[in-house]
Amino acid sequence: MFDSILSAAAQYGCKTEKNAPMSQYTTFRVGGPVELLVEPNSVDALVALLKAAKNDGVKPLVIGKGSNLLVPDEGLKGVVFHMGDAFSDITYAGNDMIKAQAGATVINLCRFALEYSLSGLEFAYGIPGSVGGAVYMNAGAYGGEIGDSVVVVNHIDYDGNRGSWSPRQAGFSYRHSNYMDSDLIVTSVVVQLDKANPEAIQMKMENFMERRRTKQPLEYGSAGSTFKRPEGYYAGALIEQSGLKGKQIGGAQVSEKHAGFVINKDNATAKDVLDLMAFIRETVQREHGVTLEPEVRILGDAPWNS
């Protein structure tokens, strides 16, 4: 079934794993196996693998750090391309710009900016995902968004053709970009930052990280904020006001530290997480008349995907 993909992976020396447990590739730490997981080790390899996938009649799921994914317990059919360490280069591009590959971590991008005394990404220090994932969903925190700094995004389509988008073409908005509605795979991004005092940058970064440590349940598996911020409200506040802080279904719990987070408290299953999310949504709708929309990307069958 995956003959062309396996052949291309062997040709380029890419790591492959059959029945790979997706719980090891997502920050929620839940989810069943995928039939085949491949780690492209270069853009050329990714192009070849995409063409091979088309030849095999398979559309792969491309992931980075899996920090915003919920994989079902039964796992996934098909192929996952994992953009791992081979896509983690970060380089100075001149004129206060930085180029980062999609598999680089947001944290490392922030640290690199600090090394060059460049400001504009301090808000993102501590976001657990990859640069590609951050661009894909326009990740943000504390009033900042990754899309605010983007100059150009480079991508590949599922036919293996390379291209790029400007910020306008990427259409960044709250927790959304046009990449979410396309068949384009982010491979790298260039961000424009501003020269600033490195001590001031570091102080801001440490301040944001400390706020995360004290207010967020970083010690547990999660996908960050579970629901998007409804217009005029805060999801965490609505959930807490509904008396759901600490609410638990199976091994999934509404964090006692921050109600905006559903966490893997005790060997949760994906079903535990989905059942708790549904319970939260129904309760908040009943108590406040506000419909919460998931920020986490739910794969497989779920009420929000129908």
Residues classed as catalytic: 175, 225, 295
Q: Which two tokens stand for residue 65?
A: 């750090």
Is residue 221 within 8 A of residue 30, CB to CB? The reply is yes
Is residue 257 within 8 A of residue 215, CB to CB? The reply is yes
Instruction: Match 């980062």 to its residue by tokens.
Output: 100
Alpha carbon distance 124, 64 (integer Å): 17
Burial class (CB within 10 angstroms; exposed 0-12, middle 13-18, buried 19+) of 306: exposed
Task: Name the amino acid, one letter, at 179.
Answer: Y
Per-position DSSP letters for 214-231, written without gaps between them: HHS-TTSEE-SSSBPPPT
Which of 284, 264, 283, 277 minimizes the C-alpha distance to 303? 277
Distances (CA, A) of 262 to 50, 209, 229, 284: 34, 20, 15, 15
Alpha carbon distance 93, 102 (integer Å): 16
Burial class (CB within 10 angstroms; exposed 0-12, middle 13-18, buried 19+) of 139: buried
Start-to-end CA span in the chain (Å): 28
Per-position DSSP letters for 57-110, written without gaps between them: T--PEEESS-TTEE--TT-EEEEEEE--GGG--EEEEETTEEEEETTSBHHHHH
| Maximal CA-CA distance, the chain | 57
